[in-house]
Amino acid sequence: MIYVSRKEHFNAAHKLYNPAWTPEKNVEVFGPCANENWHGHNFDLIVTIKGKPDPLTGFVVDLKKLSNLIRQEVIDKLDHKNLNLDVEFMKGKLASCETLVVEIWKILAAHLPSVTGYGQLHSIRLYETPRNYVEYFGE
């Protein structure tokens, strides 16, 4: 089994806030991430595809096609946006990295067959900061 990864980057703002809680409870749980005026991150997104190479190309997935897919379906919808307000697939959801990575998985899983017949989505890793990331395997 071969694992192929593509790294993309985007910038976005969000606020961690549960509307069922008081402002005080949100600050207690989320700290400065509950700032009513939002806060931003420089995100790195790593998408890993697994599979056996196409015997005609030697590729599990054409990385240029994968990059274009990630950009069109995910990055263009997130970059320089407010995750709470501007991103349709995040409407009504808590804008945590855990939620975001699951939503990204759903989008890419639906579109991946258009760029590879030999690979499948293995994992998505989303770095919120250089030291904090979430990884999802579709389970």
Annotated catalytic residue 33: yes
Annotated catalytic residue 111: no
Short-list 70, 74, 68, 96, CA closest to 87: 74
Residues 98, 109: Cα–Cα separation, whole Å:
17
Annotated catalytic residue 128: yes
Count of other CB atoms within 10 angstroms of residue 61? 26
Task: Say which of 28, 80, 98, 135 is annotated catalytic.
Answer: 80
Task: Say which of 8, 33, 41, 111 is annotated catalytic.
Answer: 33
Residues 17, 32: Cα–Cα separation, whole Å:
11
DSSP 8-class letter at 25: H
Please identify every residue annotated as catalytic.
33, 80, 128
